[in-house]
């Protein structure tokens, strides 16, 4: 049996009378790359915070093995700092209050910047960067921490296509090296081209979990995003192909029933 390092068992969560998650279940082995998808407000950020241990679920249990790393959508440092200083914060677990970052910490930070092709930004102030550049730096900070499990909340949201491809290829490399990675996204293509697992959070609080090619059919994706979605297979793409939304068609009335 695969070595399970992240498990959700019956996770549910409510904000007051509003239920955002209901009986979510997932099991991820070491080296999995899982895409988390759903419409705005479906509970993606909430589930990531629960999996990371930053938020207690209303019901259910989370099992974790190893060091956790979490990359939120936005980071607002309390004090002005350079990009290199921001990445060095990823080493905080190994740097006590009484010890300044050492040579190994700086080397790890610079290596992380190099992996996200952002070495040229090291001397810039973090707040001077664009949204996409900030996402790269926060990802570098997580890499510097050497986590066993990495959770990312929409890491590609503010990025151009080049940096999306860079980020997704990097996440795939990390998974191939044995890290377990969970990332939320609004692009089904990300899951179909890169992920080993997918979790779909539907608007009624139900969910589906499994291999992307099996659970991400046209009916499920159309229900998820409330527009017609077509699965397309093209030469040069993985066997799962890709997914294309049809924006020019009238909005669909999707029946919110379980898969």
Confidence (pTM): 0.86
Say whether domain 4-245 belongs to CATH 3.30.70.3400: no
Compute the distance between CA of residue 79 and CA of residue 95 in angstroms, rounded to an integer.
19
Q: Which two tokens stand for residue 111?
A: 């290596």
Compute the distance between CA of residue 244 and CA of residue 189 in angstroms, rounded to an integer.
8
Question: What are the extents of the domains in the chain?
Answer: 4-245
132 close to 163: Cβ distance less than 8 angstroms: yes
| pLDDT digits (tens), the chain, 259 positions | 468 999 999 999 999 888 899 999 999 999 999 999 999 989 999 999 999 999 999 999 999 999 998 888 878 887 888 999 999 988 875 444 445 788 899 999 999 999 999 999 999 999 999 988 998 999 999 899 888 999 999 999 888 999 999 999 999 999 999 999 999 999 999 999 999 999 999 988 789 999 999 999 999 999 999 999 999 988 877 788 889 999 887 665 544 433 3
User: Other CB atoms closer than 10 Å to residue 87's CB: what's the count?
Assistant: 32
């Amino acid at each position: 049996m695969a070595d399970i390092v992240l498990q959700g068992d019956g996770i549910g969560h409510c904000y007051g009378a509003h239920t955002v998650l209901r009986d979510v279940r997932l099991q991820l082995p070491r080296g999995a790359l899982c895409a988390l998808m759903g419409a705005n407000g479906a509970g993606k950020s909430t589930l990531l915070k629960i999996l990371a241990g930053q938020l207690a679920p209303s019901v259910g249990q989370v099992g974790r093995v190893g060091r956790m790393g979490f990359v939120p959508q936005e980071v607002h440092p309390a004090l002005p700092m350079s990009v290199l200083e921001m990445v060095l914060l990823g080493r905080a677990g190994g740097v006590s209050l009484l010890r300044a970052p050492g040579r190994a910490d700086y080397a790890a930070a610079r290596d992380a910047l190099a992996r996200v092709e952002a070495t040229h930004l090291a001397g810039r102030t973090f707040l001077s960067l664009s949204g996409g550049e900030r996402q790269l730096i926060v990802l570098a900070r997580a890499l510097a921490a050497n986590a066993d499990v990495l959770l990312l909340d929409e890491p590609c949201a503010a990025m151009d296509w080049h940096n999306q491809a860079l980020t997704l290829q990097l996440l795939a490399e990390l998974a191939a090296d044995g890290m377990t990675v969970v990332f939320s996204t609004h692009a089904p293509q990300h899951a179909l081209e890169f992920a080993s697992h997918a979790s779909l959070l539907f608007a009624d609080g139900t969910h589906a979990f499994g291999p992307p090619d099996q659970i991400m059919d046209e009916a499920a994706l159309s229900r998820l995003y409330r527009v017609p979605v077509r699965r397309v297979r093209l030469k040069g793409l993985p066997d799962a192909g890709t997914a294309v939304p049809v924006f020019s068609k009238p909005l669909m009335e999707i029946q919110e029933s379980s898969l």
